[in-house]
């Protein structure tokens, strides 16, 4: 009898423990689309399936119609890091797709200590070590004693590694030369058996140039599905997370422009693949059991030829394609010192401080001369001295975006802002570009769907950094370590007060 009583007590205690667990979805899915402008949701609406992909997100989910990237430069690595950390380059340290750490030029997720798994090439030497903040996935793992599992996948290394975060179980990205999805020994010693088989089964397709093809969109979803099924995400009782990023949409648009048959095809393919993937989630995890959010790392400025043909103010600027030679030549004429500009990319200009110091030049005078040279170019609207922004006449909210995008050890000293409608590139090219603060580049889609989400939309201004704050509020987990965003109340209040 006593034994029976103890058994009953144990059952009651177990049930109480289960009941006391915070309500959470079985799976969180983050879906980033590289270079997706917010207006694509509506520009393509009649070409998307009526109820499958994007239109299902809009009819079932909650859309934040006025989501803005609250820093510059609006480039891929910064976007992925900012969405998942809820903060900006000033704090998470991912200051561009490329930047300097202690004077050394690095790509965003380059880690010379790491070695590739599934490759012997340098594309495997990747990890999130350059990222200074925690991510949604890190906080989810911390909240559940690391029982939650977190995976990242994309063709681009940075689009997989940064969203997955520091404590991720794995991030997988694509190596064209190996015709395979790979990872690094930061995560594991060898590829899972299912991934080796996945690579073998898809060899013919993986050998094609997926990075700028709609087939790369489909392959990314195929990999996401393979992770979901083989790692049983959302199917083992813990809240897991899968961060997916669709990369080909960026390169296709860089090559052919935002308004082009190639970009159209990519989005129609993406819509069909998204529809299928949502059905797979319904089947494997259960409709209403997963929380999904869709956003973008940045938008894109329309091509010069397209805009100017319709009398829309536009232009392009390809100053850094010659490694700042023009600026350096003019600075040499004035100061007699070669290569005063060390690097010039993504609108950031890095001073060669050792050359300036060796020649005993006054940095302020050098910066003033570099600004004068750049202002002589018709495409340039503003050149800002980021070290001394308090002295610059820059209106809000641009000033705040410049400050939030500036990391004092990693960013360039001067930042160039082009006139509205202008972008980096040659006017003879067909492509589009991004990186600026104007709405073309900074206005991104943000749609939540699934667990806890009521249908609706808001035009309330939302910063990109609010995405992580919102997801963490819904999950009852700590916000990432340097999150500066706030939960989006039209989403969190109804969900938390059901
Ligand atoms: Zn891009």
Summarize pLDDT for 139-149 with one digit per residue, the tens: 999 999 999 99
Residues with CB under 5 A from ligand 1 (ion): 250
Angle between helices 76-85 and 466-475 (to 10 degrees): 30
pLDDT digits (tens, 9 = 90+) for 158-206: 999 999 999 999 999 999 999 999 999 999 999 999 999 999 999 999 9
**315-424 has which fold?**
Gyrase A; domain 2 (3.30.1360)
Confidence of residue 7 (pLDDT cuts 50, 70, 90): low
Residue 49: count other Cβ atoms within 10 Å of its Cβ.
Answer: 14
For β-strands 116-117 and 170-175, DSSP reports them as unpaired
Task: Specify the range with the lowest mean pLDDT, choosing from 111-115, 146-150, 312-316.
Answer: 312-316
Boundaries of every domain in the chain: 23-302+437-496, 315-424
Residue 428 pLDDT class (50, 70, 90 cuts): confident
Centroid of ligand 1 to alpha carbon of 302 (angstroms): 13
196 is catalytic: no
CATH number (3.30.559.10, 3.40.720.10, 3.40.50.150, 1.10.1040.10) of 23-302+437-496 reads 3.40.720.10
Q: Residue 17's pLDDT band (boundaries 50, 70, 90)?
A: very low
What are the phi and psi torsion angles at 323 (to 5°)? Answer: 55, 40
When pLDDT is averaged across residues 358-375 and rounded to a whole number, the result is: 96
Largest CA distance in the chain: 98
Q: What does the alpha-carbon distance between residue 14 and residue 8 come to, in Å, rounded to a whole number?
A: 10
Catalytic residue among 76, 249, 258, 465: 76
Distance 35 CA to ligand 1 centre (A): 6
Query: What spacing in Å lies between the alpha carbon of 254 and ligand 1's midpoint?
Result: 7
3-class secondary structure, 40: helix
The residue with tokens 């080796």 is 196
Among 35, 54, 34, residue whose Cα is nearest residue 276: 54
What is the arithmetic mean of pLDDT over 204-231? 97
DSSP state letters, 230-286 = HTTTTSSSS-EEEEEEE-HHHHHHHHH-SSSHHHHHHHHHHHHHHHHHHHHHIIIII
pLDDT-derived band at 3 (thresholds 50, 70, 90) equals low
How far apart CA 174 and CA 267 sit, in angstroms, is 21
- Alpha-carbon distance of 107 to 105, in angstroms, equals 7
User: On the CB side of 188, how many CA atoms lie within 13 Å of its CA?
Assistant: 15
Sign for the pseudo-dihedral over CA of 114, 119, 122, 123: negative
Asked whether 82 and 72 are in contact (CB, 8 A), the reply is no
CA of 399 to the centre of ligand 1 (A): 23
Q: How far is the CA of 395 from the centre of ligand 1 (A)?
A: 27
- Tell me the β-bridge partners of 152: 171, 243
pTM as predicted: 0.94
**394 with 261: CB under 8 angstroms?**
no
The mean pLDDT of the chain is 94
CA of 81 to the centre of ligand 1 (A): 15
- Ligand 1 centre from 42 Cα, in Å? 21
């Amino acid at each position: 009898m006593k034994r029976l009583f103890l058994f009953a007590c144990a059952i009651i205690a177990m049930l109480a423990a289960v009941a006391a667990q915070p309500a959470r979805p079985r799976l969180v899915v983050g879906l980033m689309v590289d270079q997706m402008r917010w207006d694509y949701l509506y520009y393509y609406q009649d070409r998307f399936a009526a109820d499958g992909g994007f239109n299902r997100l809009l009819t079932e989910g909650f859309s934040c119609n006025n989501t803005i990237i609250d820093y510059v430069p609006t480039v891929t690595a910064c976007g992925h890091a900012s969405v998942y950390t809820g903060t900006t380059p000033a704090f998470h340290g991912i200051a561009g797709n490329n930047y300097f750490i202690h004077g050394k030029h690095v790509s965003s997720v380059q880690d010379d200590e790491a070695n590739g798994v599934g490759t012997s090439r340098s594309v495997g030497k990747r990890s999130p070590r350059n990222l200074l903040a925690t991510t949604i996935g890190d906080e989810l793992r911390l909240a559940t004693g690391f029982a939650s599992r977190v995976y990242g996948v994309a063709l681009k290394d940075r689009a997989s590694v940064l969203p997955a975060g520091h404590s991720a179980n794995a991030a997988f990205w694509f190596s064209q030369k190996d015709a395979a999805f790979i990872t690094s020994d930061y995560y594991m010693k060898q590829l899972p058996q299912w991934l080796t088989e996945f690579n073998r089964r898809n060899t013919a397709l993986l050998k094609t140039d997926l990075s700028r093809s709609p087939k790369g969109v489909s392959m990314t979803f195929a990999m996401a599905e393979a992770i979901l099924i083989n790692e049983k995400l959302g199917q083992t009782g813990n809240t897991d997370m899968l961060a997916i990023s669709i990369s080909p949409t960026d390169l296709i648009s860089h090559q052919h422009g935002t308004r082009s048959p190639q970009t159209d095809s990519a989005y129609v393919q993406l819509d069909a693949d998204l529809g299928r993937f949502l059905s797979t989630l319904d089947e494997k995890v259960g409709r209403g059991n997963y929380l999904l959010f869709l956003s973008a790392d940045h938008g894109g400025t329309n091509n010069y030829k397209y805009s100017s043909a319709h009398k829309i103010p536009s232009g392009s600027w390809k100053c850094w394609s010659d490694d700042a030679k023009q600026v350096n030549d003019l600075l040499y004429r004035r100061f007699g010192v070669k290569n005063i500009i060390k690097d010039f990319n993504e609108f950031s200009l890095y001073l060669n401080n050792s050359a300036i110091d060796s020649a005993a030049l006054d940095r302020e005078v050098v910066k003033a001369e570099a600004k004068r040279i750049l202002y002589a170019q018709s495409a340039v609207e503003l050149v800002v001295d980021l070290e001394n922004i308090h002295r610059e006449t820059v209106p809000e909210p641009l000033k705040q975006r410049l400050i939030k995008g500036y990391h004092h050890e990693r960013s360039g000293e001067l930042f160039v802002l082009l006139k509205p409608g202008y972008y980096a590139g040659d006017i003879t090219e067909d492509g589009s570009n991004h990186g600026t603060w104007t709405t073309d580049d900074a206005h991104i889609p943000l749609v939540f769907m699934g667990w806890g989400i009521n249908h609706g939309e808001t035009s309330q201004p939302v910063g990109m950094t609010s995405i992580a704050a919102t997801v963490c509020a819904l999950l009852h987990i700590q916000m990432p370590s340097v999150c500066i965003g706030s939960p989006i109340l039209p989403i969190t209040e109804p969900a938390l007060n059901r």
